[in-house]
Structure 1
Amino acid sequence: MTDMIAVRFDSIGSLDALHLDRVSRPQVGEGEVVVQIRAAGLNPSDFKNVLGKFPYTTVPRTPGRDFAGTVVAGPADLLGLDVWGSGRELGFTRDGSHAEFVALPARGVAAKPENLSFAAAAASGVPHLTAWEAVERCGIGAGTTVVVIGMGAVGSAAQALAAARKARVLVAVRRAEHAEELRARAIEAIVLDTGLDARVRDHFDDGAEVVFDTTGFWLPAAIPVLAAGGRVAIIAAPADGHERVPVLELYRRGATLIGVNSARHDTITSAGGLNALRPLFESGALDAPADIIPRPLDQAVETYSELAAGAASKFVFVP
Structure 2
Amino acid sequence: MRALCFDHFGGPDVLSVAELADPVATTDTAVVAVKAASVTPSDLKNVAGAMEGTVLPRVPGRDFAGVVVDGPSDWIGAEVWGTGGDIGFTRDGSHAERVTVPADALARKPRTLDFDEASVIGVNFVVGWLGAVETADLAHDETIAVFGVSGGVGGAVAQIARARGARVLGVDRHAPAEGTPAAEIIDEFVPFNDPTVDVPAEITRLTGGRGAEVVYDAVGGVTTPAALASLAQRGRMVVISAVGTSTVEINLRDFYHREIRLLGADSRKLDLTASAERLALLSPYFERREFRPLPIARTFDLDHGPDAYAALADRVRGRIVIRP
Quickly say closer, same or farther: Cα 1:14–1:153, change in 2 above 3 A.
closer
Quickly say closer, same or farther: Cα 1:313–1:287, change in 2 above 3 A.
closer
Q: Which residue of 2 aligns with 1:200?
A: 203
Unaligned stretches of 5+ residues in structure 1: none
Q: Which residue of 1 aligns with 2:16?
A: 19
SS at match of 1:160: helix
Of 280-289 and 182-191, more deviation after overlay is shown by 182-191
The question of 1:67 aligning with 2:64 is answered yes
Distance 2:36 2:315 in 1: 22
SS at match of 2:73: coil
Q: 2:87 aligns with which of 76, 85, 90?
A: 90
Unaligned stretches of 5+ residues in structure 2: none
Q: Map 1:239-278; keep pairs closer than 5 Å.
A: 239-278=244-283
SS at match of 1:202: helix
Q: 2:225 aligns with which of 214, 220, 227?
A: 220
CA shift for structure 1 position 99: 0.4
Q: Which residue of 2 aligns with 1:163?
A: 162
SS at match of 1:185: helix
Distance 1:289 1:225 in 2: 27
Query: Letter of the aligned partner of 2:277 in structure 1?
Result: G
Query: Letter of the aligned partner of 1:160 in structure 2?
Result: Q
Distance 1:131 1:186 in 2: 15
Quickly say closer, same or farther: Cα 1:64–1:225, change in 2 above 3 A.
same
The question of 1:145 aligning with 2:143 is answered yes
Q: Map 1:32-47; keep pairs closer than 5 Å.
A: 32-47=29-44
CA shift for structure 1 position 17: 2.1
CA shift for structure 1 position 186: 5.6
Q: Which ranges of 4 or more aligned residues in structure 1 deviate by more than 4 Å?
A: 176-184
Check whether the contact 2:308–2:321 (CA below 8 A) recurs between aligned residues.
no
Relative to the length of structure 2, the TM-score reads: 0.92
Query: Letter of the aligned partner of 1:149 in structure 2?
Result: F
Q: Deviations over 1:181-216 (max 9, x none)?
A: 989736322222451122112221211100111122
CA shift for structure 1 position 50: 1.3
Quickly say closer, same or farther: Cα 1:176–1:116, change in 2 above 3 A.
closer
Q: Which residue of 2 aligns with 1:133?
A: 130
Q: Which residue of 2 aligns with 1:288?
A: 293
Query: Letter of the aligned partner of 1:237 in structure 2?
Result: A
Distance 2:217 2:128 in 1: 11
CA shift for structure 1 position 177: 8.4
Q: Which residue of 1 aligns with 2:311?
A: 306
Alpha-carbon RMSD: 2.0
Distance 1:187 1:259 in 2: 23
